[in-house]
Homo-oligomer: A and B are copies of this chain.
Amino acid sequence: MGQAIAGRILAAGFELAVHNRTPERAVELVAAGARGASAIADACSGCDVIATMLADDAALEEVALSADGLLDTMAPGAIHLAMGTHGVAAIADLAAAHAAAGQTLVAAPVLGRPDAAAAGQLAIVAGGPRAAVRVCEPLFAVIGRRVFDAGERPEAAAAVKLANGFVLACAIEAMSEAFSLARRFGVAPEVLHGVLTGGLFAAPAYETYGRIIVDERFDEAGFTTRLGLKDVGLMLDAGREAAVPLPSANVVRDRLLGAIAHGDGERDWSVIAREQARAAGLE
């Protein structure tokens, strides 16, 4: 995802330095004209905006807060544009740390897959101080088809991104419950899938994930059970921070945990359907 975004930025004529903990991953971008940066400090040097696309909060904290990390090496006034999916506490804490260092954090998690990124078709949820968000807008214009404004707080953008994934998880869970009931009455999941996607649920969430469930193609993980549990966990953490009970998130969490307990942790997270079937004595 990071490479696809960087490729768009470079192709649009921006001056770009790239740093990857696995240097080979930057080779292609350097060949295309990016400046290769062997260290974070090098990547930050002379840059107005430093974008990160990291796998989790731990990676973000390491890159930002460790010695010679972003906080230490970004210039005063520079903007850290965090594009990964992160927890609200991690983003809020980091925003405070950057602010204390005279820098600014803008959170701009993206929705869409790497191929959408390469095509400049991502949706972007941006949160942060207005002036800093405005500085980032030319970048958003080349990587996304649409920008959603989450307001002045970077953690709000994180919350919106988590909420989107959570709504998807709930849709998968709901379909899974519905499929297991239908099976008990002798109805093929295929038929119910047709009913759903032929009507109120004619949308990718149900078409794509419903199809995986109907075909039981859980082994080709687009997004694993463990990653799903991580993100639902971040959603629940956000609920705790904000004192918002999220009973549907509890349901999903328990199915994901059960899937892991039954050995499906590295399968596609729509394996929730199999776990629900297990709970109904169908496996």
Contacts and interface: CB of A to CB of B under 8 A. Distances in A.
Interface of A: 88, 111-112, 123, 125, 146, 148-153, 155-156, 159-160, 163-164, 166-168, 170-171, 173-175, 177-178, 180-182, 184-187, 191-192, 194-196, 198-206, 229, 233, 235, 238-240, 242-251, 253-255, 257-258, 260-263, 278-282
A280 B250 contact: no
A151 B260 CA distance: 25
A244 B184 CA distance: 8
A239 B256 CA distance: 12
A280 B150 contact: no
B150 A191 contact: yes
Given A164-B195, A170-B173, A261-B279, A181 B246 contact: yes
Given A153-B186, A280-B245, A167 B251 contact: no
What is the copy number of this chain in the assembly?
A: 4
Nearest to A238: B181
A74 to B, nearest CB: 25
A203 B201 CA distance: 5
Contact of A195 (B111, B153, B254, B258): B111
Contact of A174 (B196, B248, B258, B278): B248
A248 B111 contact: no
A4 to B, nearest CB: 17
Nearest to A176: B248
Contact of A261 (B160, B205, B244): B244
A235 B177 CA distance: 11
B204 A200 contact: yes
Contacts of A167: 171, 174-175, 178, 196, 200-201
Nearest to A165: B200
B159 A181 contact: yes
Nearest to A156: B185
A240 B230 CA distance: 10
Contact of A177 (B184, B249, B262): B249
